[in-house]
A = this chain, B = another copy of it.
């Protein structure tokens, strides 16, 4: 499933993610407005993370508003509802690879091409939190490095 770095039928990725978003919105009484839907489509175009201002530029070019809150609100909606994730290490956003199912996402993030593979792993700090009396609300797990495509020709880790 985490095939962001593999050759795959990406049209299927896009179609199933959009369908999952539609169904989830239906089920929860949320509205997937043109702005929100288009924002998701833009993220879905590739498995690369996009900055909010990259998304904003695309939206503006298509006739939507041109000011930061337009993009941040649409992205916030997608993130809040699990259709997209924020990659903390890049201050950027990526479409969810498993929309619909609730999940604690983790990511392999290529520092060269910014593509992101979403993985499903166990919450890794649960036992420690338990022992300390710490109530975990959200866990960020991001491995940064080089993807198979970038590995050969990217410059050193520094």
> Is A140 part of the binding interface, using a Cβ–Cβ cutoff of 8 Å?
yes
Q: Report whether A124 and B140 are in contact in the complex, using a CB–CB cutoff of 8 Å.
A: no
> Is A89 part of the binding interface, using a Cβ–Cβ cutoff of 8 Å?
yes
Contacts of A19 in B (CB 8 A): none
A: residues with CB less than 8 A from B are 2, 5-6, 88-89, 106, 108, 110-111, 117, 119, 121-125, 128-129, 132-148, 151, 157
Number of copies: 2
Q: Contacting A119 at CB < 8 Å: which of B6, B123, B125?
A: B125
Task: List 25 contacting pairs A-B, 8 Å CB cutoff, sorted by A.
Answer: A2-B132, A5-B134, A6-B132, A88-B88, A89-B140, A108-B128, A111-B137, A117-B132, A117-B134, A119-B125, A124-B124, A125-B143, A132-B148, A134-B143, A134-B146, A134-B147, A135-B145, A135-B146, A136-B143, A136-B144, A138-B143, A138-B144, A138-B145, A139-B142, A140-B143
Q: Report whether B2 and A128 are in contact in the complex, using a CB–CB cutoff of 8 Å.
A: yes
Q: Contacting A121 at CB < 8 Å: which of B108, B125, B133, B151?
A: B125
Q: Report whether B139 and A5 are in contact in the complex, using a CB–CB cutoff of 8 Å.
A: no
Contacts of A6 in B (CB 8 A): 132
